[in-house]
């Protein structure tokens, strides 16, 4: 749900929809607005295909030292023709795929996650919105802010990332709900 900024593209119909009211500056913030997003989500790769050139720009270097300077371009070739992309066919297909990945991941606490270092497992950690900025984000080096009520990197409150060789899924109590993960 969180428009990633940096590198992106849109189809002609989306451009036709927004071009007459395009932002003069901070176009990434414009794309995150509810009246622009209209409940839509971005398809984005798990591995960044974008790179920042430095801290000069309209944002004045915000987040550059702490986060953006560590962006690494992908150096692993992927044959997209051989990838199973059925989960991207619709919102329902993606939601179903994500819930299945969450269900298959081992439920751990924030205090337990370091004991899995080096194991290359899928782990899920339920987070509380109030504890996110104080405990969860600092633990993993994640950005603590929200834009338009949406956490960076999240989809329906789920934030996937890799930590100490493990695939971590942080997920909010709001989605997908305990009945979906049991």
SS3 16: helix
Closest CA to 125 of 148, 108, 143, 149: 108
- Is 179 among the catalytic positions? no
- pLDDT computed for residue 49 by the predictor: 60
Q: Which two tokens stand for residue 150?
A: 């949406």
Both tokens assigned to 70:
């560590």
Give the pLDDT score at 45.
Answer: 60
The rounded distance, in Å, linking the Cα atoms of 27 and 99 is: 31
What does the alpha-carbon distance between residue 131 and residue 136 come to, in Å, rounded to a whole number? Answer: 7
d(CA 89, CA 26): 30
- Rg, Å, the chain Cα set: 17
Question: Going by C-beta distance under 8 Å and a sequence separation of 6 or more, which residues neighbour residue 75?
Answer: none
What does the block give as tokens for 169?
A: 């899924």
Q: Which DSSP symbol is given to 153? A: T
* Residue 127 · residue 171 · CB < 8 Å: yes
Per domain, the residue ranges of the chain are 12-70, 84-180
Q: What is the pLDDT of residue 12?
A: 93
Cα distance between residue 49 and residue 71, in whole Å: 10
56: its two tokens: 């000069």
Mean pLDDT by 10 residues, the chain (182 residues): 65 93 84 87 65 64 70 80 90 91 95 96 90 87 79 85 94 77 72
pLDDT for 111 equals 94
CB–CB of 102/171 below 8 Å?
A: yes
Closest CA to 87 of 43, 147, 39: 43
CATH of range 84-180; options 3.30.230.10, 3.40.462.10, 3.10.180.20, 3.40.50.2300: 3.10.180.20
According to the model, what pLDDT value does residue 80 have?
84
Catalytic member of 11, 20, 28, 56: 28
């Amino acid at each position: 749900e969180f428009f990633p900024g940096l590198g992106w593209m849109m189809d002609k119909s989306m451009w036709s929809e927004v071009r007459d009211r395009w932002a003069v500056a901070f176009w990434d913030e414009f794309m995150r607005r509810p009246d622009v997003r209209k409940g839509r989500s971005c398809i984005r790769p798990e591995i960044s295909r974008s790179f920042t050139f430095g801290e000069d720009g309209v944002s004045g270097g915000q987040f550059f030292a702490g986060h953006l300077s560590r962006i690494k371009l992908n150096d692993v070739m992927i044959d997209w023709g051989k990838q199973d992309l059925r989960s991207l066919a619709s919102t329902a297909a993606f939601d179903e795929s994500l819930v299945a990945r969450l269900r298959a991941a081992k439920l751990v606490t924030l205090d337990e996650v370091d004991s899995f270092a080096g194991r290359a497992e899928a782990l899920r950690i339920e987070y509380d919105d109030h504890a996110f900025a104080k405990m969860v984000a600092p633990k993993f080096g994640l950005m603590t802010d929200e834009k338009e009520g949406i956490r960076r990197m999240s989809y329906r409150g789920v934030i996937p990332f890799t930590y100490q060789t493990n695939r971590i899924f942080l997920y909010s109590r709001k989605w997908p709900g305990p009945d979906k993960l049991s």
